[in-house]
């Protein structure tokens, strides 16, 4: 079975010239009215899981230049996952606490 997977992966690389890699999940925590990082660099196709370890609710807004992804009201203890299929810089803010800011860079 392992050999079958290796053969398929080798065939994909040989025919397309592109190596397949599993997408990663990165965790950004919210605590003390701030994100755990000011900037996060990830790979195209990765996902970011925002966790709320704070006492108040948050409202995550992800801007991609054309539209805004909105988590809605994120209660304490609730996660919210956002896939990033496109390269670019994505400003992140909290709609409730505007001083909470960070940037995700997708390479």
The answer to whether the beta carbons of residues 92 and 62 sit under 8 Å apart is yes
The answer to whether the beta carbons of residues 85 and 66 sit under 8 Å apart is no
pLDDT at 9 over 90: no
Fold type of domain 23-106 = Immunoglobulin-like (2.60.40)
Quote the CA–CA distance of 3 and 29 in Å, as a whole number. Answer: 39
pTM comes to 0.78
With helix as H, strand as E and coil as C, how does 48-61 read?
A: EEEEECCCCCECEE
Segments making up each domain of the chain, as ranges? 23-106
Which pLDDT tens digit goes with each residue over 12-53? 444 455 556 789 999 999 999 999 999 999 999 999 999 999
């Amino acid at each position: 079975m392992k050999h079958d997977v290796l053969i398929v992966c080798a065939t994909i690389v040989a025919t397309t010239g592109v190596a397949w890699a599993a997408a990663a999940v990165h965790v950004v925590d919210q605590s003390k009215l701030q994100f755990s990082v000011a900037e996060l660099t990830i790979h195209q196709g990765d996902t970011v899981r925002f966790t709320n370890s704070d006492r108040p609710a948050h409202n995550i807004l992800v801007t991609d230049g054309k539209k805004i992804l909105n988590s809605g009201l994120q209660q304490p203890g609730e996660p919210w996952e956002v896939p990033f299929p496109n390269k670019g810089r994505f400003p992140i803010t909290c709609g409730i606490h505007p001083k909470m800011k960070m940037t995700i860079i997708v390479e």
